[in-house]
Structure 1
Amino acid sequence: MRLDLYPAIDLKDGQVVRLRQGRMDEATVYGVDPVRIAARWAEAGARWIHVVDLDGALRGHPQNAAAVRAIVEALRQSHPDVRVQLGGGLRTLEALEAALALGVSRAIIGTSALEGDVAARAVARFGPDRVAVSIDARGGFVAARGWVEVTRVRAVDLAVRMREVGVRTVVYTDIATDGMLTGPNFAELEMMGRTGLDVIASGGISSLEDIRRLTEIPGVAGAIIGRALYTGAVDLAEALSLCGETRDT
């Protein structure tokens, strides 16, 4: 099965950072221009760039629009076939519309998927290809509001609910593995893969072997890679080749 790879750019105060288990007090600041990082991943052959507004996730509304716009506009000039998906603080239709207006190809709904009918209305308004739902879990239960609140909703149950309202793609993050380079939670991903959704795995990828195993899980259509790229544990070009996802660069 083909696996789309999504090199990650996490933004805090306009800077590129990586977190461990979603903890802001354990952020590694890379001190590089996010536009340069996006260009690096594009030049390696990536078809997608995954951008997260960490400040937006905590505050409930987008905070890094200027940096996102700069990434999108630079890619449009240098690599127009590379798409950007954006998450973090997108909890209303207005926020989703503003994100898509920046030029991103897909906007990711977070906490609002638990509340009311935002996901259903978003799919109806923007289409299932333009929106996805982020399901972040700790111990199999959904975590919300920047991962600081763990609910009593099972991640698999929320995924099924999202499929029933027309959502096609979910980003599944296992918080315990995020940024830890210990490998994904394959057991949870296998359950998520049986929901009938296109699942993008996030958290823990540490090696090419992890990526190979993900290609074997039915329903897992993509994988987000963060810290492993920044530390050099995974070479993006090699990973893309493993997934059969190389493009002309």
Structure 2
Amino acid sequence: MNIYPAIDLKEGKAVRLLKGEMAKATVFNDDPAAQARDFVAAGCQWLHLVDLDGAFAGRSENSQAVQSILASVDVPVQLGGGLRSMDNIDHWLELGVRRVILGTVAVKTPDLVKAACKAHPGRIVVGIDARGGKVATEGWAQTSQMDAADLAKRFEDAGVEAIIFTDIDRDGMLMGVNWQAVADLADAVTIPVIASGGVRDMADVESLRLMAHKTTGRIDGMVIGRALYDGAIDLRAALEVLSVPC
């Protein structure tokens, strides 16, 4: 199991949003690279980066901040936000991003996801962001009529490394993870699922540990954002909880 500390990038700064609304951004660190180093010093094995401006623009908008993070840490990084062409995917993987997260294109151009999986085995993650159970795209600005599980099933045999499932209604709200929705998705596909959205406290970390055991590896871990920045979860303590066998 992994904990993926989240660094969401807006105008070169590390921020958190409420329910994905760009107008409700709170700046937590003016120096994303320094934030990344703090997370690594606490023991994380991965970092989760999202280019928020890029998600809306459809192209990378926080390249300098991402590159500064890559130069500052030695743990693998996964990156999402505005990655909608093979050239862009190739670019970031060549620069040192370990995995790219494809969201909007998973809905609108699924063949690109499949082609990327063939070109870069083990390095493609699908981001499924849902509002009311329906998949949202374009930086969460648009909501489709597709169910999260139906989208996940499209890629069952494509070679996707993991699915990051975000409950938008809980994102940044510290309401607790929608574990039922996470479990339902993990039951629907064999692709490992990473939970995201609403992580509140250490009880969610303990729930992750128990659920990962019950689902025999189908749940890979959890993205944590605001709870780390607000101090509701201590990253070192969370990692220690996950190290305890069930």
Smaller-chain TM-score bracket: over 0.9
SS at match of 1:163: coil
- Provide the residue aligned with 2:68 in structure 1: 70
- Provide the residue aligned with 1:92 in structure 2: 85
Residue type at the aligned position of 2:108: E
CA deviation after TM superposition for structure 1 residue 220, in Å:
1.4
Farther off after superposition, 230-239 or 189-198: 189-198
Among 20, 23, 46, the residue aligned to 2:21: 23
The answer as to 2:176 corresponding to 1:210 is: no
Structure 1 unaligned regions, length at least 5? none
Question: Percent same amino acid at aligned positions?
Answer: 43
Q: Distance in 1 between matches of 2:240 and 2:173?
A: 24
Q: Distance in 2 between matches of 1:178 and 1:31?
A: 19
Q: Distance in 1 between matches of 2:151 and 2:77?
A: 25
Within a 5 Å distance, the mapping from 1:50-199 to structure 2 comes to: 50-75=48-73, 80=74, 82-116=75-109, 117-127=111-121, 129-194=122-187, 195-199=189-193
SS at match of 1:224: strand
CA deviation after TM superposition for structure 1 residue 99, in Å:
1.4
Structure 2 unaligned regions, length at least 5? none
Deviation track 1:80-126 (CA, whole Å, cap 9, x = no partner) reads: 3x111100001111111111122111111110011230111000011
Q: Structure 2 length as normaliser, TM-score?
A: 0.94
CA deviation after TM superposition for structure 1 residue 51, in Å:
0.6
Q: Structure 1 length as normaliser, TM-score?
A: 0.93
In the alignment, is the contact (CA less than 8 A) between 2:123 and 2:161 conserved in 1?
no
Q: Distance in 1 between matches of 2:17 and 2:108?
A: 26
Could you list the runs of 4 or more consecutive aligned residues of structure 1 that deviate by over 2 angstroms after TM superposition?
A: none
Residue type at the aligned position of 2:241: L
- Provide the residue aligned with 1:243 in structure 2: 242
Deviation track 1:42-62 (CA, whole Å, cap 9, x = no partner) reads: 000000010100000010111
Residue type at the aligned position of 2:47: I
Instruction: Count the aligned residue pairs.
Output: 237
In the alignment, is the contact (CA less than 8 A) between 2:49 and 2:77 conserved in 1?
yes
